[in-house]
């Protein structure tokens, strides 16, 4: 009697575990950059979340160099982050400089 493993179910469990880590990481980033207790959408939080996604995609391209669809998505995320940074620079220069320093971004 041989035991057959259904690999699709095993992969599904791994994906669910990875999603849980993503949710925890997102909550951690929101906690680090929130302005007030219930803040989830301020410019600083959005910039931090976009930076996390951009960093994740950058690692993806080291393995998948020819994934041009995701590369376009990366460019969309980068431009959205740039617009939010421009807004923050106009509205609150001090917070803009703090965000750049915390996230190790260039001006």
Instruction: Identify the CA nearest to 52 among candidates 105, 92, 89, 15.
Output: 105
Low-confidence ranges of the chain (pLDDT < 70): 1-21
HEC per residue, the chain: CCCCCCHHHHHHHHHHHHHHHHHHHHHHHHHHHCCCCCCCCCHHHHHHHHHHHHHHHHHHHHHCCCCHHHHHHHHHHHHHHHHHHHHHHHHCHHHHHHHHHHHCCCC
**Confidence at residue 62, expressed as pLDDT on a 0 to 100 scale:** 85
Could you give the domains of the chain?
7-103 (1.10.287.10)
Query: What pLDDT shows up at residue 63?
Result: 83
Q: What is the pLDDT of residue 61?
A: 83
Q: What is the pLDDT of residue 107?
A: 77
pLDDT at 31 (0 to 100): 93
């Amino acid at each position: 009697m041989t035991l057959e493993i259904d690999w699709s179910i095993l992969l599904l469990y791994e994906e669910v575990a990875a999603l849980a880590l993503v949710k925890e990481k997102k909550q951690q980033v929101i906690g680090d950059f929130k302005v007030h207790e219930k803040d989830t959408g301020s410019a600083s939080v959005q910039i931090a979340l976009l930076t996390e996604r951009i960093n994740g995609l950058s690692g993806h391209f080291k393995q998948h160099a020819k994934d041009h669809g995701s590369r376009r998505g990366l460019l969309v995320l980068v431009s959205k982050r740039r617009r939010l940074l421009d807004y923050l620079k106009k509205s609150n220069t001090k917070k803009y400089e703090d965000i750049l320093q915390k996230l190790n971004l260039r001006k």
